[in-house]
């Protein structure tokens, strides 16, 4: 009987991982299935562009995995039973259940409401395709002079505010920051960011926490009202509660707690990659939810799965966080390197050169998704006959 590998989610982590596994493992021994709720690959790093009115290339997952041997199941995951090794799904074909021998959990994250009243009912976000399209439609319906409030001074908030301000110069864009705008950046990069906001006419309310969202305004701490025809919530990410409900060991964030090889510490036949993995980086701190972290964790997870199934030595993939790359519209950006302690280095790259670099990164990631098995070793390894769960040494 073939070893059943099920990958939950076909985002950056899941799609890359499925392609890697398909290229490296013999189809005579393995069966790889990817479960995803929508038929297209979602370029999450570009959703703020989509929301602001730009058109993005559509990549059908059926085309992405054509000829790779990967099976695609279009369905939404509703539960995981790690004791029975099953995944519950629902889709156009109704409810169903998939059995697995090895599970790679890569369901990503969504917007975090933080319990703020009115966010779920009245705010928009750019963490998913449907929500970005909903925001796109709302912005398209705004006339000149309309007001947009972006809540959150992180990467998503900054990129969303600048993209909307550049694409819709007829709108009034405001950003609410709980702290100081760009506080984590080096002094020069921070000045660059502020100049970009000034150039785009974005108003910034610093030290401003939003405590409620209403249809036409947001209420800040102290009762201050900020007018907003549209409020975009970009105040952090949260993972789906499926993992916690399944009995897998999770952190306070709901992320699956994994060891150095991305293997669940409570269930050794389950691996996690991307935003849903609580992985400790080489600096001793949890990796942040980011596309870069998704790349590192999916490479480590797939390497560990392949090695353990084929009786090899598990290699140790680097788990570093190198820096922040922030788009400031289409013609400007900031690339800020960080040190081992995630403190900004004095050097940064800004302007058109940084924008071209960011565009290249996005283009490369998209192309890689469209060709999931390109450039990988052609040797397809047979599964080892060693008993499942046998100890395998991890390379230093």
What are 150-172's pLDDT values in tens digits?
999 999 999 999 999 999 999 99
What are 117-126's pLDDT values in tens digits?
999 999 999 9
Q: How high is the pLDDT of residue 379?
A: 59
What lies within 8 Å, CB to CB, of 230 at 6+ separation is 124, 135, 138, 139, 142, 146, 147, 148, 149
Q: How high is the pLDDT of residue 386?
A: 41
- Per-residue pLDDT, averaged over 365-394, amounts to 62
Predicted confidence band at 292 (pLDDT cuts at 50, 70, 90)? Answer: confident
The model carries a pTM of 0.91
CA distances from 50 to 22, 111, 139 (A): 31, 17, 11
234 pLDDT exceeds 80?
Answer: yes
- Per-residue pLDDT, averaged over 288-304, amounts to 88
The C-alpha angle 47, 278, 362, rounded to 5 degrees, equals 30
Predicted confidence band at 60 (pLDDT cuts at 50, 70, 90)? Answer: very high
Q: How high is the pLDDT of residue 291?
A: 78
58 pLDDT exceeds 90?
Answer: no
Higher pLDDT pick, 375 / 65: 65
Q: How high is the pLDDT of residue 376?
A: 57
Q: How high is the pLDDT of residue 172?
A: 98
9 pLDDT exceeds 70?
Answer: yes
Q: How high is the pLDDT of residue 388?
A: 43
What are 166-219's pLDDT values in tens digits?
999 999 999 999 999 999 899 999 999 999 999 999 999 999 999 999 999 999
396 pLDDT exceeds 50?
Answer: no
CA distances from 334 to 22, 198, 364 (A): 36, 15, 18
What are 320-368's pLDDT values in tens digits?
777 889 999 999 999 998 877 778 888 899 999 999 999 998 888 888 7
Higher pLDDT pick, 95 / 323: 95
The closest alpha carbon to 18, from 4, 32, 29, belongs to 32
For residue 233, how many other CB atoms are within 10 A of its CB?
Answer: 30
């Amino acid at each position: 009987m073939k070893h059943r590998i099920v990958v939950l989610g076909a985002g950056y982590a899941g799609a890359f991982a499925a392609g890697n596994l398909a290229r490296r493992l013999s189809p005579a021994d393995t069966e790889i299935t990817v479960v995803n709720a929508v038929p297209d690959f979602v370029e999450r790093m570009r959703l703020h562009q989509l929301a602001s009115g730009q058109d993005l290339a559509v990549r059908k997952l059926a085309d992405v995995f054509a000829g790779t041997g990967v099976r695609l199941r279009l369905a939404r995951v509703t539960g995981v039973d790690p004791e029975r090794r099953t995944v519950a799904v629902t889709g156009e074909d109704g409810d169903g259940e998939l059995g697995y021998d090895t599970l790679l959990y890569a369901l990503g994250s969504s917007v975090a409401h933080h319990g703020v009243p009115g966010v779920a009912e009245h705010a928009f976000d750019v963490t998913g395709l449907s929500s970005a399209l909903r925001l796109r439609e709302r912005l398209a319906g705004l006339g000149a002079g309309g007001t947009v409030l972006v809540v959150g001074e992180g990467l998503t908030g900054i990129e969303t505010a600048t993209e909307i301000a550049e694409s819709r110069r007829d709108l009034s864009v405001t950003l609410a920051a709980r702290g100081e705008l760009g506080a984590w950046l080096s002094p020069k990069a921070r000045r660059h960011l502020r100049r970009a906001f000034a150039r785009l006419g974005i108003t910034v309310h610093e030290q401003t926490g939003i405590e409620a969202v209403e249809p036409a305004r947001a209420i800040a701490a102290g009762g201050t009202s900020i007018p907003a025809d549209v409020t975009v919530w970009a105040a952090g990410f949260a993972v789906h509660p499926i993992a916690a409900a399944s009995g897998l060991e999770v952190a306070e964030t709901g992320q699956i707690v994994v060891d150095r090889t991305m293997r669940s510490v409570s269930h050794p036949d389950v691996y996690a990659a991307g935003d849903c993995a609580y992985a400790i980086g080489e600096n001793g701190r949890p990796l942040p939810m980011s596309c870069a972290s998704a790349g590192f964790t999916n490479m480590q997870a797939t390497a560990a799965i392949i090695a353990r199934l084929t009786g090899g030595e598990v290699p140790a993939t680097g788990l570093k966080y190198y820096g922040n790359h922030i788009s400031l519209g289409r013609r400007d950006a900031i690339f800020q390197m960080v040190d081992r302690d995630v403190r900004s280095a004095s050097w940064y790259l800004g302007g058109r050169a940084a924008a071209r670099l960011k565009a290249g990164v996005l283009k490369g990631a998209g192309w890689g998704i469209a060709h999931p098995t390109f450039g990988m070793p052609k040797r397809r390894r047979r599964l080892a006959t060693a008993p499942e769960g046998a100890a395998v040494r991890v390379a230093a």
